[in-house]
């Protein structure tokens, strides 16, 4: 696959001559749709796979793609997290041979995190020619916290009926009882209980004690109907409550045999019974245990036969018991538990990624571990909450292939002979990403490109023993680092931030969170012209007005906190995305003449505001999404408001916004596709009046209503 990174609208054309059958532009949200389409040779014949996750592609771009030279050969299209994709986009993906429109060879379509509705998905499945060829079709997870609605269940049933080659359901955590009902209906129609090539299954199990049959029986029935080709299985509580483990589940998982390659279990309690963990096949490559309570000996026993195949192990928020009244489990001291933990990791010879986060023992144990693994590439390590027991102690870390390390030193204590930074430098020379809160004077990592440092207590001004600049520059080489994130770090001395930026001339992304900064520090930021992404959160300083004129190459700006009183973006040539959150002190925002700005999000914290008025001035010819949240106690003036290409409008809890502003958007923005107008005084009569003049056949989705009561049109 050809994946383009660190490109922009000016350099995109340099890559059109590369031979490719797959193209990835994932995360390149700063490139406009117009710039993408001007690079027409990218979409030439022979292209079979396109990854457009987290980009700015919209419905019109998909329409053009459906009529391009690549339309006949594209098989895989990933639009996940692309917020400007609506029902109109997938309407263009329905194959119309006479019009040469659509993607007739399409077999994989991913729509997670888009604005596509269940109605659009149903039309796509029912009306598209070649639906029977689909192997992957994933839909947005709008229902995730409350359960699948009947509309999305209808999408699931249509996929079950019309897509015999489907390898995974369109969404995860399917309510087991609903799935069984759909299976019975399909079997009654002579279609079989499930698509014959189904390889992945994610079930949400209920904890209703009044049910006629338990969740173990239901899960076993569903697994038995799908187990012919099943290789990935996810079982979790539908409501996030712990499920009592049953032998039925053990037998159901064991019935998959050597076919099972990935298993995830969440919210299970097996500590009160003799059941430990299911008998897993020796070919298992990925195991995830999330909020599991079981005997620790059960974990080590289950992993003992996976040493030759297991590559990824995730143990998150689990509780492992080390005492029991049964004969198999006896009390063990801290040294025995630590030794067993180390032996468990060492026995997994092919392990590439290990995550032990917020997991603990019951009763609490002082775990002291040494990790020495020749193949480990990614490590995420953190002990239990300090209130639940002693912190995890790490005395050795020797992993020569380690590329990314995340260490939570608020729940983890380094007890090695040298500093943690020195140990990493000595034993892990291939590191590319570090997320820790410990530094030391040492030779920097030559290949490090991402560095995140956190401290629990801010460094006081004038404290020479904890110089943040010395710690950061000691970890990273000046020519390699492109991304720096500092949280709860002390940069209070004048010139300290300037020194950091001068040491890293290639730094393009800077994130500062809960950092005390003097007023002069913002002048230093503006002198670093290479910055393209800037994030400032909870900055400890006097409130001030900010202008982006000093950041000539800035493409993304995120401000979170009450330190901004006014924001001026006028005439910025490259700024594409602006997010202002928790902004109760913001009284003015001006975005006039911003040709690249496509996303503007303003969210008030709802606290006491410095003024009773919020003034907005918006003149952005490329703006696609405008969001305004939580401005309840202040009047909002928007003048001027010119955004002819706007496609998505969100007004949520904006009590004092004139209705004329909404009317202006509906009249002057012909491409408007979605509008969320909740708790802003808009009634059904207003919606009908606003939507009536629009041309027939246009796709427009409108939601309105008050708190807790939301309606949709049409």
Report DSSP letters for 482-542, one per residue. Answer: -EEEEES----STTHHHHHHHH-TT--EEEEES-B--THHHHHHHH-TT--EEEEES-BS-
**Which residues pair with residue 547 across a beta bridge?**
568
* Blockwise average pLDDT, block size 10, the chain, 714 residues: 58 61 82 76 79 88 84 90 88 64 85 88 87 91 52 88 92 85 87 86 69 65 83 79 71 81 86 57 86 86 84 92 53 78 90 91 86 92 74 87 84 79 79 64 54 48 44 59 77 65 82 77 79 88 86 91 90 92 88 92 68 86 90 81 91 85 89 86 83 62 71 64
Terminal alpha carbon distance of the chain: 41
> How much is the pLDDT for 358?
86
Distance in angstroms (rounded) separating the CA atoms of residues 278 and 639? 63
The rounded distance, in Å, linking the Cα atoms of 383 and 364 is: 11
Cis previous bond, 640, omega within 30: yes
Q: How far apart are CA 447 and CA 614, in angstroms?
A: 46
| Residues 6+ positions from 81 with CB-CB distance below 8 Å | 53, 54, 112, 113, 114
Tell me which residue has tokens 């031979």: 19
CA distance 552 to 588: 22
Coil, helix or strand at residue 14: helix
Rounded CA-CA distance 244/594 in Å is 57
Cα 143–Cα 110–Cα 158 angle in degrees, nearest 5 = 65
Tokens of 693: 């003049």
Three-class DSSP category at 557: strand
Going by the DSSP 8-state scheme, the letter that residue 695 receives in this structure is P
**Closest C-alpha among 543, 537, 535 to residue 519:** 543
Which residues on neighbouring strands pair with residue 360, listed in sequence order?
A: 319
Phi first, then psi: what are they for 380, rounded to 5°? -125, 115
Which residues touch 308 (CB under 8 Å, ≥6 apart)? 282, 349, 350
User: For the chain, what's the residue count?
Assistant: 714
pTM of the predicted model, to two decimals? 0.77
Other CB atoms within 10 Å distance of the CB of residue 285:
17
Looking at the DSSP assignment, which residues form a beta bridge with residue 683?
Answer: none
- The pLDDT value recorded for residue 567 is 92
Eight-class DSSP state of 334? H
Query: How far, in Å, CA of 290 to CA of 288, rounded?
Result: 6
Kindly provide the b/e burial profile for residues 378-413, where b requires at least 16 CB atoms within 10 angstroms of the residue's own CB: bbbbbbbeeeebbbbbbebbbbeebbbbbbbbebbe
Considering just the CA atoms, what is the radius of gyration of the chain in Å? 28
The confidence score (pLDDT) of residue 80 equals: 93
The DSSP result for 122-168, as a single string, is: HHHHHH-TTGGG-SEEE---TTTTT---HHHHHHHHHHHHH-TT--S
Q: Report the SS3 class of residue 255.
A: coil
Beta bridge partners of 650: 627, 676
Extents of the domains making up the chain: 1-172, 432-458+470-542, 545-713
Dist CA 541 CA 366 (whole Å)? 40
Per DSSP bridges, beta strands 701-706 and 709-713 are antiparallel
**Residue 5, exposed/middle/buried by CB under 10 A (0-12, 13-18, 19+)?**
exposed
Q: What distance lies between CA 49 and its chain's CA centroid?
A: 22
CB atoms within 10 A of CB 258: 10
- Return the pLDDT at 313: 95
| DSSP designation for 158 | H
1-172 topology per CATH: 3.80.10
3-state secondary structure of 476: strand
Q: What local confidence, expressed as pLDDT, does residue 108 receive?
A: 94
Please tell me the distance from the alpha carbon of residue 700 to that of residue 689, in angstroms, as a whole number.
14
Q: Is the peptide bond before 549 cis (omega within 30 degrees of 0)?
A: no
Residue 348, number of CB atoms within 10 A of its CB: 22
The pLDDT score that the predictor gives to residue 448 is 66
């Amino acid at each position: 696959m050809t994946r383009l990174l660190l490109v922009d609208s000016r350099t995109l054309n340099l890559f059109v001559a590369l031979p490719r059958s797959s193209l990835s532009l994932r995360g390149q949200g700063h490139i406009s749709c117009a710039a993408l389409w001007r690079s027409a040779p990218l979409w030439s014949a022979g292209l079979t796979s396109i990854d457009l996750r987290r980009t700015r592609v919209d419905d019109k771009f998909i329409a053009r793609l459906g009529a391009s030279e690549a339309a006949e050969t594209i098989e895989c299209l990933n639009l996940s997290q692309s917020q400007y994709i609506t029902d109109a986009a997938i309407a263009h993906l329905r194959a119309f041979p006479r019009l040469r429109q659509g993607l007739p060879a399409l077999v994989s379509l991913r729509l997670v995190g888009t604005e596509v509705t269940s109605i659009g998905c149903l039309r796509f499945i029912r009306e598209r020619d070649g639906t029977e060829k689909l192997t992957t079709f994933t839909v947005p997870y709008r229902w995730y916290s409350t359960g699948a609605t009947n509309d999305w269940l209808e999408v699931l049933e249509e996929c079950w009926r019309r897509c015999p080659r489907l390898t995974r359901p369109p969404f995860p955590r399917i309510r087991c009882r609903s799935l069984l009902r759909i299976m019975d209906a399909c079997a009654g129609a002579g279609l079989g209980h499930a698509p014959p090539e189904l390889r992945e299954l994610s079930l949400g199990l209920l904890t209703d004690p009044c049910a006629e049959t338990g969740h173990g029986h239901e899960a076993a029935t569903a697994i038995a109907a799908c187990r012919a080709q099943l290789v990935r299985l996810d079982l979790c509580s539908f409501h996030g409550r712990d499920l009592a483990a049953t032998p039925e589940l053990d037998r159901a998982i064991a019935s998959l045999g050597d076919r099972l390659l990935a298993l995830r279990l969440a919210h299970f309690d097996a500590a009160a019974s003799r059941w430990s963990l299911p008998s897993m096949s020796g070919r298992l490559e990925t195991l995830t245990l999330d909020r599991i309570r079981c005997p620790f000996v059960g974990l080590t026993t289950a992993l003992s036969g996976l040493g030759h195949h297991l590559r990824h192990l995730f143990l998150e928020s689990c509780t492992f018991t080390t005492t029991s009244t049964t004969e198999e489990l006896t009390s063990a001291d801290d040294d025995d538990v630590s030794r067993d933990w180390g032996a468990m990791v060492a026995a997994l010879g092919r392990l590439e990624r290990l995550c032990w986060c917020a997991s603990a023992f019951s009763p609490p144990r002082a775990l002291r571990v040494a990790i020495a693994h020749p193949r480990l590439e990614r490590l995420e390590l953190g002990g239990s909450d300090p209130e639940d027991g002693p912190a995890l102690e790490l005395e050795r870390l020797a992993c020569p292939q380690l590329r990314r390390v995340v260490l939570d030193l608020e729940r983890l204590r380094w007890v090695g002979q040298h500093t943690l930074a020195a140990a990493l430098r000595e034993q892990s020379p291939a590191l590319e990403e570090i997320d820790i809160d410990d530094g030391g004077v040492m030779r920097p990592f030559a290949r490090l490109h991402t560095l995140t440092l956190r401290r629990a207590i801010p460094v006081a001004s004038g404290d020479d023993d904890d110089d943040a600049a010395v710690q950061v520059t000691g970890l990273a080489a000046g020519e390699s680092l492109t991304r720096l994130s500092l949280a709860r770090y002390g940069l209070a001395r004048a010139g300290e931030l300037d020194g950091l930026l001068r040491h890293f001339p290639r730094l393009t992304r800077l994130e500062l969170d809960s950092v005390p900064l003097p007023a002069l520090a913002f002048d230093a930021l503006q002198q670093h012209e290479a910055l393209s992404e800037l994030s400032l959160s909870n900055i400890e300083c006097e409130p001030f007005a900010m202008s982006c004129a000093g950041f000539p190459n800035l493409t993304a700006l995120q401000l979170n906190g009450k330190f901004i009183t006014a924001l001026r973006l006028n005439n910025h040539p490259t700024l594409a995305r602006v997010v202002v959150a928790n902004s109760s002190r913001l009284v003015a925002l001006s975005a006039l003449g911003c040709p690249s700005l496509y996303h503007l999000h303003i969210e008030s914290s709802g606290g006491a505001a410095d003024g009773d008025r919020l003034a907005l001035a918006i003149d952005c010819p490329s703006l696609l999404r405008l969001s305004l949240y939580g401005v309840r106690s202040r009047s909002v003036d928007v003048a001027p408001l010119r955004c002819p290409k706007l496609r998505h409008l969100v007004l949520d809890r904006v009590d004092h916004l004139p209705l004329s502003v909404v009317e202006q958007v509906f009249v002057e923005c012909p491409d408007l596709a979605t509008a969320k107008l909740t708790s802003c005084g808009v009634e059904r009569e207003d919606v009908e009046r606003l939507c009536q003049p629009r041309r027939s056949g246009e796709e427009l989705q409108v939601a309105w209503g008050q708190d807790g009561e939301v309606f949709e049109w049409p």
